[in-house]
A and B are shown apart, each in its own frame.
Chain A
Amino acid sequence: MTNEMQFKTIVAQYCEVKPEDMKNDMRFREDLGFSSLDFMSFLGELEDTFDVELEEEDVLKVLTIEEALEMMEKLQQEA
């Protein structure tokens, strides 16, 4: 499974959209129905799965799947 698919599989645990139907410009709150708690729990799950450490200041700016993927890619490159 690619990182992107693995990422979307985690996203799918929190919403009603299947990983294969997710578009990268979808917004977590408006399009996928994440609450603030969902989003923050999801970030914790990302940290555990991909073994990265997210900066609180950065994650609060993330709105779409694409932005989250870019953030993850950057963090994994730095690691």
Chain B
Amino acid sequence: MRDYYPLTAAQKMHHNWIQDYKTQQVSGVSVVASLKAALDFGLLKKCIQLEFARYGCMRVRFTKPDEKGQVKQYIVEKETRDIPLKDLSGMSMGEADNLMQQWAYETFDGDDIPLCDVTMVKLPEGFNGFFIHMDHRLIDSCGLVVMINDLMQLYTHYRFGSEFPKDLADFEMVLEKDLKKANNEKRLAKDKKFWDDQLDALGEPLYSDIQGLSVLEEARERHGNKNLRAADIELKDLFVEVKDYYLEPEPTKNLIAFCMNHQLSMTNLLLLGIRTYLSKVNDGQEDITIQNFISRRSTHDEWTSGGSRTIMFPCRTVIPADMEFMAAAYEIQNVQNRIYMHSNYDPALIMDEIRKRYHTPEHTAYESCYLTYQPLPVKMDNPHLEQIPQHSKWFANGAATKKMYLTVSHTEYGGMNFSYHYQTAHLQEHDMELLYYYMMRILFKGIAEPDMTIGEIMAQV
């Protein structure tokens, strides 16, 4: 008999976005992975089918909502669909990317349906590989990287006789463990206390926008409430543009060295850069909240079980202008460490509590910026493929739930990529240019003179 499970907090986060924005498009995640080599597509198909068997999250489906609107998940035993092959080799790489971008906009509509499509592709310039399109409730980007590596290890095992890949953790077993943890009453009470204590100490959060104070002022006028502390979110025009900026290896090395020398994580340094910019453009506002995504992958089982584990928590800090850069960085680290300890909590409950206490209007938020720091590059980590050029690319789903979502990742050449996804309804490329420019000025000023105060840095950059 098949088991049915409720959704985890991370899955619920995506599920709620689908409900709020009324389209599954907001939950699409797509990536292409390819090699500049002739591939045996018959063998690749066999490996993809084997991957469906090994990686349980690829077989997850959701039931029709019950009378209370609740859905359950279950894992089908076998995936029997064919794996199609599409030949895009006659196009330019730009044209092929454009076509795959269109595939990334496709939605999975319906209940009890497969939510994972894999297509083998022949790409231009001799690249061959596969395109994966999934629902984010099934997997996050770390899970996809693990899947791509496992799949290529299967391929090189059958093709070149390399070692068979190590077993992946059972998705269902890890899911059961996660749900059990989430229902642990003692832990739940402790987590709730942590978040409630923060509200007791700091009161209602205060919105800060990339474009400055005018956004909150407009929301206050719209709601006829001059004390409103949250701003409206865009629900209709979700079109998103992506602007990437590349930080060269040398300055990247300086950021990494600073983090290592001061026992600071890169996420916390980035959070400091963003929050200082927000403070600067919001008239020195000291109370700033940024939504930060946490991977929730720590154990071997969590790393290899797939699934959607990434979840966002508000990183709220109150940093006065006279606090030194280094002290501010440690303040963020301190807050983040405590959040990590309570990261099994469902962040929707934090918002429920805020709404209960402060009567926050529906469809408003306290944050304009969302951050993901990805230490893992999408690279097939396989000795048989080391010398072969690779082409991997993430495709945006084209519908943003967030005003500005920054993904920071490391490139294979030692640099860093800053990928800004922004809603075009309210933001333009110029806003991203300003954000990146000032973030870098703030960070490099800060790491050069860590005893300088935040106020001095804001004034000088």
Chain-A contact segment, one of B8-16, B121-129, B296-304: B296-304
Residue B340 is within 8 A (CB to CB) of chain A in the complex: yes
Given B298, B301, B337, B343, which contacts A60 in the complex, CB threshold below 8 Å? B337
Q: List 6 A-B contacts (CB under 8 A).
A: A14-B300, A37-B298, A40-B343, A48-B181, A53-B190, A56-B341
Do B341 and A44 touch across chains, with their CB atoms under 8 A apart? yes
Do B265 and A13 touch across chains, with their CB atoms under 8 A apart? no
Residue B295 is within 8 A (CB to CB) of chain A in the complex: yes
- Complex Cα spacing A77 to B190, Å: 22
Given contacts A47-B187, A48-B184, contact A41 B265 (CB under 8 A): no
Given B190, B334, B340, which contacts A41 in the complex, CB threshold below 8 Å? B340
In chain B, what residue has the closest Cβ to A12?
B300
- Complex Cα spacing A12 to B114, Å: 35
- Complex Cα spacing A14 to B181, Å: 17
Given contacts A35-B265, A36-B265, contact A41 B298 (CB under 8 A): yes
Interface string of B277-310 (1 = CB under 8 A from A): 0000000000000000011101111000000000
- Complex Cα spacing A39 to B187, Å: 17
In chain A, what residue has the closest Cβ to B265?
A36
Given contacts A35-B265, A48-B184, contact A14 B341 (CB under 8 A): no
What's the dominant secondary structure at chain A's contact region? helix
Contacts of A53 in B (CB 8 A): 190
Residue B397 is within 8 A (CB to CB) of chain A in the complex: no
A41-B299, A44-B181 known, 6 other contacts, Cβ within 8 Å: A13-B300, A14-B299, A36-B336, A37-B343, A40-B343, A48-B184
| A residues in contact (CB < 8 Å) with B | 13-14, 29, 35-44, 47-48, 53, 56, 59-60
What's the dominant secondary structure at chain B's contact region? helix
A-B complex: 5 closest residue pairs judged by Cβ atoms: A40-B340, A13-B299, A41-B298, A38-B298, A40-B341
B265, B334, B340: which has the most chain A beta carbons within 10 Å?
B340
Contacts of B301 in A (CB 8 A): 13
Given contacts A14-B298, A36-B265, A36-B333, contact A41 B187 (CB under 8 A): no
Residue B344 is within 8 A (CB to CB) of chain A in the complex: yes
Contacts of B295 in A (CB 8 A): 37
Do B187 and A44 touch across chains, with their CB atoms under 8 A apart? yes
Residue B46 is within 8 A (CB to CB) of chain A in the complex: no
Contacts of B338 in A (CB 8 A): 56
Given B190, B334, B340, which contacts A37 in the complex, CB threshold below 8 Å? B340
- Complex Cα spacing A18 to B334, Å: 30
Do A36 and B343 touch across chains, with their CB atoms under 8 A apart? no
Contacts of B263 in A (CB 8 A): 29
B187 to chain A, nearest CB (A): 7
B119 to chain A, nearest CB (A): 34
B410 to chain A, nearest CB (A): 15
B58 to chain A, nearest CB (A): 24
Contacts of A40 in B (CB 8 A): 337, 340-341, 343
